[in-house]
Structure formats: structure tokens, C-alpha cells
Amino acid sequence: MSLQEPIAPKGSVIADRDWWRGAVIYQIYPRSFQDSNGDGIGDLAGIVQRLDHVASLGADAIWISPFFRSPMKDFGYDVSDYCDVEPIFGTLEDFDAVIEKAHRLGIRVLVDLVLSHSSNQHPWFVESSADRENPKADWYVWADPKPDGTPPNNWLSIFGGSAWEWSTRRKQYYLHNFLSEQPDLNFHNPDVRRAAFDIARFWLDRGVDGFRLDALNFYFHDSELRDNPALPEERQNDSIAPSVNPYNYQEHIFDRNRPENLEFVAEFRQLLDEYGAIALGEIGDAQIGLELIGRYTRGDDHIQMCYAYDFLSPTPPTASHVAEVIANIEAAAPEGWVCWAFSNHDAMRHVSRWNLGNEAQRLMILLMMCLRGSATIYQGEELGLPEAEIRFEDLQDPYGKRFWPDFKGRDGCRTPMAWLYDAAHAGFSTASRTWLPLGAGHEMRAVSVQHDKPDSLLNHYRDAIALRRREPALRKGALVDLAVDGSLLSFRRVFEGNEMHCVFNLSDTAAEFRSPDGSVEPVSPNAAILPSNGPAIITLPPWEAFLMREKA
């Protein structure tokens, strides 16, 4: 499948507050993108070196996973200084260079803001944990033990075990929804909320165009610390936590998704509007799912869009499943906006998770470009990189170490980017050893291998993104007439007189459909089989799409 149309030229970033609708965002995991100084770890200067690749894809923005100062217990998601760069990634001046080059290439920059928790080495927590009377004593979530010395309630950590850790100094427990080295900030404290706004202003003043808000629905907790009820077995879902984790056994109604969260989001939106900035919220909750996206993105007083987890699950992308997800989001958030993703730094790469062949990979990115919403592409996805197999002795992820071998953690999707076929570590680094090894065979799919091949997956990604940018209906239009016929998924995208008919065959066998009445112009490569004298029965090959726009 090849759309065979050139990429539309980009330009410098211009003032368009609605740019995020239908945008394509490229996620960069900095540790694994490009190492510029030979220490085996990717860095900000490496991002500058490789931004031309992102521009060649046609992406509208980049989302950079955390690069703040951190002891790296969770590889940057444990922040010890929100307003400085971890030295392994470079300096603030290096970040400024990222902003400058990205904007020159017409690419906006989102940074991953981790506000729900900090590192236990952050000066705030060091002070808070010293005693119960200091100025920051209430900046984190502290609680007395039960009379028998056990934790104050039954809340669990996503990374396993109790969500409470004992402090010998305060003789109290503190809350951590993730690692024990990641204590939760107390957003019930107005000083904490003000500090969060100050952090956001620091980066907005530096020129960022917005934020990916990590663990957004975890900011507030139930102030009464009530126990979570048990979740009925038939509702248990392992798309957020692996099935080996007892976290799935609870209905998480008191440790996340509190009503105060939406009040904070509304205040945060006011700050974003001051700068013309946007936010992409990560809401990790398979129990409620798309309903939360409706809550967090409705109207103009909440954040612009939220990440959807539905296509990060192991469920195969059949026509019926994709249609169900689309119908659910249309019902749950008709006025909201979703950001779709097939892969990210926390999930097995979708090529391996869904066991996709070459044609299926091509169809899936075209499908994503045709869905209502925005889209996120994870580095290496455009190369078709499969999940890497990591030996236990090379494992870095604390999540994987905790549940090995039944759950091997997230390192398999975090291995270095493959740039060059005939270079050490596929051009990622000149070091003798990299922080994670290159995935086996990934060099065969390197950018240098695919760049000049018109029929490569990389160039198909470029074509699909270019199609989305050219078609107003695909970027911002409504999605109507959703239908499933066996393995065929179909719908129309409509926007201000522009209309696109989309049909996808999500199977290994050919399928037939009737072309629409009226005068249409084929967009897909099967254009030759559409007769000019009216509707016809069209045979769609396996894992193929047929796109038609109405003629003017």
C-alpha cells in the first residue's frame, strides 16, 4: 500500500490555537533516541541532531519524556528538580536548542510534566519527612498507622505491594501510587498547587508549547483515606497493570479520579490559555476508560485532549473491536477530544502485541490517520520495530524486576532507536555499551535502510501523515456512518463541505463492498478498480484500505 503523494511542506510555527486538533505528535524517549556524547544514553543534543527525521515524517509536535533532574529510579518519572535538566541529558541551554530547532522546523514541543509525585530525593520531600512541624510537613500525603501498626488503608501501588511506605522519622506512612521512591504530592494543599503552576510557568516561559500531563487522574486522593472496594472479577482488566499484579483486584475510586481533580484541571486550563499552550492528559484507568476522557476534555475550561489506552491493550484490532472503541468514544466524549496511540514507552510495541505483518502495519497507521482525534507515534514505530527481548541481566525497569518472568517490564519497547544499518548500535551511540542493548535485528529496519525506498514502511508513514495534513476532514471533521460488515470497517469524515469515505479490511482475506453513490475521487492505490460510470462492487485485498473524497 502506498499513497504516492508528496509530503506537504512545513514551515515555522505560526499562531494557531487550534493546531492540536488532528495533530500528529511524535513521542521521544530521550534515553533511547540519540546519544551525542558517547556515554551510551540518549540526550537533548541528540534530539537536536535527529529532529530533521521527525520533520521528514510531517509530525506537528514532539512529546519529550522526562529529562528533569532525577535519581532515575523510574528513569525520569521520579523528579528531584522540576526546573533543571538531569546532567546525563545535558543542560537547560541544550533544551533551548531543542526548542529553537523544533520551532524552526515547524514542530511544536510538549514536555512530560510529572506532578502527581516527585522523587523522595526532592528537597520538598526531604524537608517534609524530617518531622511533622516543618513548613512542608503537609506537602505530601502522610497518615498515621492503624492501631496494629499496619498501613492506614488497603490502597495498592501500581508497581506492586502496598501504596504506603513507613517513615521512621515521622513515624507515619506516606502514600506512593508508584515506586516507594515516588511519594505522592498532596494536592489538597494550596501551596502544592501553586508550586505546580510555578513549574508550568517556568517551562512555558522557556518556550514550550504545552505539556503531556503524566498520571493526571492521580493528583488528588480521598481526604478521608477510605478503603477501595473489591472489583468484581468479571470487571478486572489488565490493560493498565499486568495480570500478575493484585492492583487489578480493587475498584480504584478513592486513590484516583477524585472530583477535585477536575477543579484543578480547569484552573490549569486558564494558565495554558494565557500562553496559547495545550495539554495532553494521561489518564490511566481501564476500569472507567473513555468516560474519563469525556470528563477531562469537555468544553473550553478543561484540557484539550487525553490519551486513549484502548489501542494499547492486547485485544487484536478487528473491525468489530475498532468500531466498538470508536462508538464508545463518540458516546463518552462527543464534545471532547481523544489522542490515539498504538505504542508508547509503557506498552509492548504493537507490531509484536498484535503480531502484525507488513501490510497490517501499513493499514493500521492509515487507519489511525483517518480516526477522529489526534495521534501519537512512538519513536521506532515508523520503522516497524518489534518488541525487543531483554535478558534479565540487562533489565533496567524496576517494574519488570518486580514481576519477572511473568511480566518482563517495559524495557522491550525502550531499546535504542535504529538509525544506521552499518554502524555500532545502529548509529544510536559510539559507546562500547548502551544503557539497554539494541533490539535483535533492529538494524535491519534502520532509518538508513528505509529512507530512500519508496515502498518502505517509513515512507508509508510519511505518506499517511501527509494525507491527514492535506485533508481537513481527516484532521478536524466529524466521524459519521460508522459500520462493520464482517472484516470491513467503514465510516465517513465530514468537515465544512469536505468529505472522505473510508473503508478498511482488517483481515487476512479479501472482502467485497459497494462503492458509494455519487461522484467520488479515489485516494487509495486501488483507484483503478473504481469505474467512472457509477457505484460498483469492489474487492478489497487483505489489510487494504479504500479512501474516497467527494468530487467538487
Q: Tens digit of pLDDT for each residue in 265-277?
A: 999 999 999 999 9
Which residue of the set 43, 112, 165, 214 is catalytic? 214
Is the pLDDT score of 336 beyond 80? yes
Rounded Cα gap, residues 86 and 418, in angstroms: 24
Q: Name the pLDDT band for 333 (thresholds 50, 70, 90).
A: confident
Q: Which residue has the cell 544499518?
A: 421
**Is 86 among the catalytic positions?**
no
**pLDDT digit string, tens, across residues 76-107:** 999 999 999 999 999 999 999 999 999 999 99
Rounded Cα gap, residues 378 and 386, in angstroms: 12
**Is 209 among the catalytic positions?**
no
Predicted TM-score (pTM) of the model is 0.94
**pLDDT digit string, tens, across residues 132-188:** 999 999 999 999 999 999 999 999 999 999 999 999 999 999 999 999 999 999 999
- pLDDT score at 291: 82
324-344 average pLDDT score:
93
> Half-sphere exposure of residue 259, counting CA atoms within 13 Å on the CB side?
0
Is the pLDDT score of 299 beyond 90? no
Beta sheet of 498-505, edge-to-edge order: 478-485, 488-495, 498-505, 545-550, 520-522
Domain boundaries, the chain: 24-116+187-221+256-469, 478-550
Is the pLDDT score of 4 beyond 50? no
Superfamily of domain 24-116+187-221+256-469: Glycosidases (3.20.20.80)
Rounded Cα gap, residues 356 and 503, in angstroms: 19
Dihedral sign, CA of 56, 57, 58, 64?
Answer: negative
C-beta of residue 545 within 8 angstroms of C-beta of residue 1: yes
**pLDDT digit string, tens, across residues 15-30:** 678 999 999 999 999 9
Least confident of 25-34, 248-257, 455-464: 248-257
What residue type is assigned to position 148 of the chain?
D
Domain at 478-550, CATH class:
mainly beta
Rounded Cα gap, residues 283 and 302, in angstroms: 14
Is the pLDDT score of 532 beyond 90? no
DSSP class of residue 512?
E
Q: Name the pLDDT band for 481 (thresholds 50, 70, 90).
A: very high
Which residue of the set 198, 227, 273, 274 is catalytic? 274
C-beta of residue 530 within 8 angstroms of C-beta of residue 515: yes
**pLDDT digit string, tens, across residues 374-432:** 999 999 999 999 999 999 999 999 888 988 988 889 999 999 999 999 999 999 999 99
| Phi, psi dihedrals of residue 408, rounded to the nearest 5° | -95, 10
- pLDDT score at 288: 72
Q: Name the pLDDT band for 287 (thresholds 50, 70, 90).
A: low
Helix (H) or strand (E) holding 211: strand 210-213
Is the pLDDT score of 519 beyond 50? yes
